């Protein structure tokens, strides 16, 4: 289970970071605790080893059945390991729930930003169930009584407009500011022509490099709406 076979004669400084973490975890679990607190246990590891240890921690927890409370500021690590995430802000719970729900439907503006990169679009209530933004109006439900709103949209949910432009929210053309190829996607910064002071981030498919001018599109169902006053 611990991957330490044949290393019993090694001194602590002779073990790798991952091996030291395995030994520390084995010692903590030897007393069969009902709950185990792990405070940033993977922070000192490189990316490849950290991801391997994430998988290992989850497998060990399922095998032994002990409740793990895993403290981390790495949102990807939290989502990779947790069955349930609690987002804290100065000792106050901002959100709690399954990782997918907390990421896709955050309970607060703080939780939306803390759980990953998000586009923040200023808005105000409009007529007939609409909210008005610098990029046009969109039909979404707004918090009652709020006069200033923020729409949050994850970069992977901001897409090129489909052929014909039917359905969804057409944000109009945007100019490419810069682009980085990250293997699984292009991460691009774009400036909408309708709102030149607004910088948006989009994750676009890796198959083709982004154009100089893009027409952007989003599904209103992917928007989270918050009162700016309660950020």
Total number of domains constituting the chain: 2
Query: 21 is in which domain, residue-wise?
Result: 14-83
Same domain? For 41 and 135 the reply is: no
pLDDT given for residue 2 in this prediction: 43
CATH of the domain at 35: 3.40.50.300
CATH of the domain at 207: 2.40.50.140
pLDDT given for residue 17 in this prediction: 59
Same domain? For 122 and 190 the reply is: yes
Residue 139 lies in a domain: yes
Residue 69 lies in a domain: yes
Residue 3 lies in a domain: no
What is the pLDDT averaged over residues 47-61?
90
Q: Residues 149-164: pLDDT tens digits? A: 999 999 999 999 887 6
Q: Residues 95-113: pLDDT tens digits? A: 999 999 999 999 999 999 9
User: Do 112 and 118 form a contact (C-beta atoms < 8 A)?
Assistant: yes
pLDDT given for residue 24 in this prediction: 80
- Average pLDDT, rounded, for the chain: 89
Residue 134 lies in a domain: yes
Q: How far apart are CA 119 and CA 202, in angstroms?
A: 9
Same domain? For 121 and 212 the reply is: yes
pLDDT-based confidence at 135, cuts 50/70/90? Answer: very high
């Amino acid at each position: 289970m611990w991957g330490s076979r044949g290393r019993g004669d090694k001194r602590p400084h002779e073990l790798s970071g991952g091996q030291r973490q395995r030994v520390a975890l084995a010692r903590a679990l030897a007393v069969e605790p009902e709950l185990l607190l792990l405070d940033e246990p993977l922070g000192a590891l490189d990316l490849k080893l950290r991801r391997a240890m994430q998988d290992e921690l989850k497998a060990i927890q399922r095998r032994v059945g002990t409740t793990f409370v895993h403290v981390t500021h790495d949102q990807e690590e939290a989502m990779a390991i947790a069955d349930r995430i609690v987002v804290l802000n100065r000792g106050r719970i901002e959100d709690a729930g399954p990782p997918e729900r907390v990421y896709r439907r955050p309970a607060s503006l703080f939780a939306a930003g803390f759980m990953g990169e998000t586009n923040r679009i200023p808005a105000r209530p409009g007529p007939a169930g609409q909210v008005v933004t610098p990029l046009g109006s969109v039909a979404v439900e707004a918090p009652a009584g709020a006069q200033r709103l923020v729409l949050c949209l994850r970069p992977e949910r901001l897409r090129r407009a489909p052929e014909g432009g039917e359905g969804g929210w057409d944000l109009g053309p945007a100019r490419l500011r810069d682009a980085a190829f990250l293997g699984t996607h292009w991460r691009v910064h774009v400036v909408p022509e309708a709102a030149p002071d607004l910088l948006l981030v989009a994750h676009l498919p890796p198959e083709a490099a982004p154009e100089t001018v893009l027409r952007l599109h989003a599904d209103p169902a992917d928007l989270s709406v918050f009162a700016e006053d309660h950020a």
